[in-house]
Amino acid sequence: MNLHQLFIFCSVAKNKSFINASRDLNISQPAISQQIKSLEQVLGKKLIERRGKLFQLTHHGETLYEYGVRIFSMVEEAESALEHLGNFQKNILIGTPKIPGTYYLPKVIRKFMEKNPYIHFDVSFEESNAILLDKLIKNQIDIIINYESVILRNDIEVKKIYQDELVLAIPPKHPWANGQLITFEEILTQPFIFYSPKLFIQQILENILSGHKVNVILQLDHFEAVKSCIIQGLGISLIPYSTIESELKQGFIATANCRSFTVPRNLVAIYKDSKVLPNILKEFIATLG
């Protein structure tokens, strides 16, 4: 089958008129008629019924038109794919701590790749925001996804993308799991699970507990290990709400209702001045939040 003839046939079928197809294709009507006739001879099937001014696709013509539309749609997709590969940045380099990189990024990457399947993401984990900023300035990464902090640079932009909060997670069968209001002093009587000092949550937890003595039974540098220990009833700890939504719904974990241990914390995207960003990175940033 000749694709040029198929293209002409699809134009005639779409326009439901040889005259209009002739105008769209800038080809004379006799030439179009000859191409359609030649296509019918190759296929051995009648594609169009013409009776005076009446125009109608045959059953074979309707079937061929449906396939023709799909074929030329795929041609457009192929051209688009080649354009993306030839003209756009293909990689997006993201720097992020483990928590947002594990619980937030996969969702937004999946959503973005549904419309941009030719983009490759390279995600590197780093807990220190200072190190991440240094990498961003040196062009070692394109964007940072992290919890908000103070950044005093005019060439760096910060976009709020998700409103999270830190909550006090407790075992599911704990007496406080029914939601009653708990005092700060009552919380201090509980066994605590601490994080590694390099994790930002540990710094916030220590600030809340500043000047007060608590029973620390474990200190872990892996966030999932902290969650697991809470589920097993070993102790309590501060945790981003977004990371335990599934466990809360399934009843594997609960939260204590104590205002002192509820800390709003926004997740942000940090990147260089948007005037110098590649278009694909601007598109990605626009999908965040």
254 & 194 share domain = yes
Residue-level pLDDT at 278: 82
Residue-level pLDDT at 81: 62
Handedness of CA 168, 268, 100, 113 (dihedral sign): positive
The mean pLDDT value for 220-224 works out to 89
233 & 155 share domain = no
Q: Please report the DSSP string for the chain in residue order.
A: --HHHHHHHHHHHHHT-HHHHHHHHT--HHHHHHHHHHHHHHHTS--EEEETTEEEE-HHHHHHHHHHHHHHHHHHHHHHHHHHHHHS--EEEEEE-HHHHHHTHHHHHHHHHHH-TT-EEEEEE-S-HHHHHHHHHTTS-SEEEEE------TTEEEEEEEEEEEEEEE-TTSGGGG--B--HHHHTTSEEEEEPTTSHHHHHHHHHTTT---EEEEEES-HHHHHHHHHTTS-BEEEEGGGSHHHHHHTS-EEEB-GGG-EEEEEEEEEE-GGGS-HHHHHHHHH--
Residue-level pLDDT at 29: 87
137 & 69 share domain = no
Residue-level pLDDT at 77: 74
Residue-level pLDDT at 65: 93
Residue-level pLDDT at 273: 82
Q: What is the pLDDT of residues 95-144, one digit of tens each?
A: 999 999 999 999 999 999 988 888 899 999 998 989 999 999 888 999 99
Q: What is the pLDDT of residues 41-56, one digit of tens each?
A: 999 999 998 776 677 8
Q: What is the pLDDT of residues 200-217, one digit of tens each?
A: 899 999 999 998 999 999
143 & 77 share domain = no
The mean pLDDT value for 5-23 works out to 89
18 & 97 share domain = no
Q: How confident is the model at residue 279 (pLDDT cuts 50, 70, 90)?
A: confident
Which of these three, 87, 118, 151, is where a domain ends? 87
Judged by average pLDDT, the poorest of 72-76, 180-184, 190-194, 218-222 is: 72-76
175 & 250 share domain = yes
What span, in angstroms and rounded, lies between the C-alpha atoms of 84 and 222?
Answer: 39
Residue-level pLDDT at 86: 52
- The CATH number assigned to the domain holding 172 equals 3.40.190.10
Percentage with pLDDT > 70 across the chain: 96
Structural domains of the chain, count: 3
Domain range spanning residue 210? 164-264
21 & 142 share domain = no
109 & 53 share domain = no
147 & 123 share domain = yes
127 & 186 share domain = no
222 & 151 share domain = no
Which of these three, 65, 87, 109, is where a domain ends? 87
Q: What is the pLDDT of residues 158-177, one digit of tens each?
A: 999 999 999 999 999 999 99
Which of these three, 87, 110, 131, is where a domain ends? 87
41 & 174 share domain = no
